[in-house]
Amino acid sequence: MSEETFTPPEATALPVLPLRDVVVFPSMIFPLLIGRAGTLAAIEKAMLQERRILLVTQTDPATEEVQPQDLFSVGVVANVLQTMKLPNGLVKVLVEGVYRARVASWIPQADCLYATAERLELTGGDGLDARAHMKVALRLFKDYVSLNRQLPDELLSTLGNLAEPGSVCDFIMSHLPLAAQKKQEVLEMIEIPEQFQYINAVLEEELEILRIEKNIEGQVRDKISRTQRNFFLQEQMRIIKKELGEEGEEDISDVIAYRKKIRKAKMPRAVRERADEEVEKLKGMPIMSPEATVIKNYLDWLCAMPWGLMTPDRLDLEEAERILDQDHFGLRKPKERILEHLAVLARVEKIRGPILCLVGPPGVGKTSLGRSIARAMGRNFVRISLGGVRDEAEIRGHRRTYIGSMPGRIIQGMKRAGSMNPVFLLDEVDKMSADFRGDPSSALLEVLDPEQNSTFSDHYLEVDFDLSQILFITTANIRHDILLPLQDRMEIIDLHGYLHHEKIHIADEFLLPKQLKDHGLREGELEISDSAMQKIIGSYTRESGVRELERILARVCRKVAKENGVNQNNTVTLSANRLEKMLGAPPYKDNQIEKGDRIGTAVGLAWTSQGGEILNIQASVMKGKGTIQLTGRLGDVMKESAHAAMSFLRAYGQEWGVNADFLSECDVHFHIPEAATPKDGPSAGITLATALLSALTATPVPADIAMTGEITLRGHVLPIGGLAEKTMAAKRAGIRRLVVPSDNRSDWAELDKQLKQGMTFVFADNITEVWHEVFPSKKPVARTLVSPQPGASSH
């Protein structure tokens, strides 16, 4: 709106500027930052109306769209002295309060709010009462400024130039740290003596707070001064005693105590010399100095280490074997390795401790086996978890130059162990990661290297520590996630998941008695039939270990405890028929494979950190222009395997009835169900090729056969990993024939007899041998139509 066309609503109406958390008093110059559209419009209108504006504080600062009911009724008429537009879009306004005013009427407009206001005149300023109150206020405010460092002394000279009591009130109130609500109350007061009474009360309270703060600062300053004084006195006493020749160890109790600890500890010679050097440094230092505290902590760690302390090994092989079998069922390989180590110890006096790495799915007993090994050998046991560790200092410690430094986890574990030959378990070694602070996996190379760990050096201790007598056991879920140089230093023992009959034995002999005891159930209060236990394992769990099985048994015990209440004489017999009523519908089916022979579907096998799984790999062909689709959240390696299978069929599929140019007139779609689960790896190569051949030739694939193996462009079948886990998954799903690479014969020979029982293994060197097993009757005949024909499946 231009200046020529602007006309205010009424001659006496003023534009209103709402204030948030601010109260402006008369004669007060105050800067404001304006950003709201309504307030910007009010400033523009004020500049066109003799620069006069009405400043009124909001009752609620959070209100954006201000209405008359959102404002107090008393404000200040002010002059706009200056406006400045800032780069961020805000406008800085400098206003000066002129006089108090009460709103007579509100006049809302489209762009801003107007109001008519009547001037408020202060009363009672000429009386003696007001003069007396003013003198008290001036004295208190002078004391307040002298104690408050945030207020400049120039305020007092400005205040001295004010003669009117009302002006003095407004000036003092504008510099007091009060909330806007309190200042608004004073702004609305008309009687000057009443204003002074309020101001004097506030000043008395603020002065008391400032005096308390000053007293606290003085106490802290005195304490620091006393500490410095004691330090100088102690230093003078030490120099005087040195000059008189009276300084000796008998006057330094800490030095005497540390010398006794050093003599008592069986430290190696080099370590003892280092400890004596630190004691000499401590002897010449003031007791209260920070350096003395660092040296004391260092000496405490040196003296606390188990130098030369060894626990005797239990060399009775039969007793050790009994303990191992008592704690864990199965796990033949690690048990044999420990018994071999004990057998060698019985013949030689000293042998370097082996470094074992137990690799297997979760829940198979890797961590608890370490504790059982320590009990069988009669050694102390210590465990540290490396999952999520990403700092090299966690392994090797921090140097003493850092505040709060301490040794790494290896040395801390040795202190807890209390001997030089414990069983040391490094859990989850495959879950370490690296960042800018270093690579903890690389720091473990020295710890787990038999040629180096006899002189392991921690950054904090800075002396050689012998780790060669420790029996190190590491655990991991996935072997490929372990650093290759680290794998080279360890003897890796693969632990496959438990078989069905093994889980039944573990549940009956270990898990169920433990849960009965944990839930306060007496022996015989709960009986689970064999059929019910088999159904729990087969239909309510799907795992390689037994953790889920233990949780299910705990759930059963809780329900029995609730059912029996305090009546311990009642016996609950859990049968297979009653199981579903107690635990609900089984979450897993007995058989995961599709029923009947299917065209374009082949059963593959996968190996994950959770154990073995089966994959229903599907392939479909349809009329198109050669597009290849891969769905089911496949990884890059599996996608490459699909393309390799496609290329082999295009190059060598003619003898199986596949035209070399089949892609010119059709599209191919590979899909692996359970699309939300990531899948990757090369071992599905022959399964992808078989599913595609079945889809192209309309030849069903038998549903009772599964296969695993990597395929090359020449059709060779390469070896795979995790044969035990994959075999268990196939057996659990009801599959009895497995096609595996010929190079995995050695892995097959290592399988347990119970795992191989009832299974037929077919070893293949190339994909042709696989297809002869899958399609035994005759060579497939090429399809006349590219798209699948209805009714071609065999169920």
Residue positions annotated with a catalytic role:
683, 726
Query: 527 vs 301, 539, 571, 574, 588, CA distance in Å?
Result: 53, 19, 7, 6, 23
Query: 270 vs 266, 273, 455, 554, CA distance in Å?
Result: 12, 5, 12, 55
User: What is the per-residue DSSP string for 690-703?
Assistant: HHHHHHHHT-EEPT
Alpha helices in 565-706 (DSSP H): 576-583, 636-652, 685-697
Compute the C-alpha angle 56/57/60, nearest 5°: 140
Phi, psi of 744, rounded to the nearest 5 degrees: -95, 15
By the 8 A CB rule, do 500 and 537 touch?
yes
DSSP percent split of the chain into helix, strand, coil, nearest 5: 45, 20, 35
Compute the C-alpha angle 472/475/476, nearest 5°: 145
2: Cβ–Cβ under 8 A, 6 or more apart, which residues?
none
Alpha helices in 284-377 (DSSP H): 290-304, 317-327, 332-347, 366-377
**Terminal Cα-to-Cα distance of the chain (whole angstroms):** 85
Alpha helices in 448-568 (DSSP H): 484-488, 500-506, 512-518, 530-539, 547-564
- C-alpha 432/C-alpha 428 separation (Å) is 8
Q: Which amino acid is at 248?
A: G
Residue with tokens 């198979």: 364
Q: Within a 10 A sphere around the Cβ of 377, how many other Cβ atoms?
A: 25
Q: Left (φ > 0), alpha (ψ -120 to 50) or beta: where does 279 sit?
A: alpha
Residue with tokens 């003013």: 134
Backbone Cα Rg of the chain: 43
- C-alpha 479/C-alpha 482 separation (Å) is 6
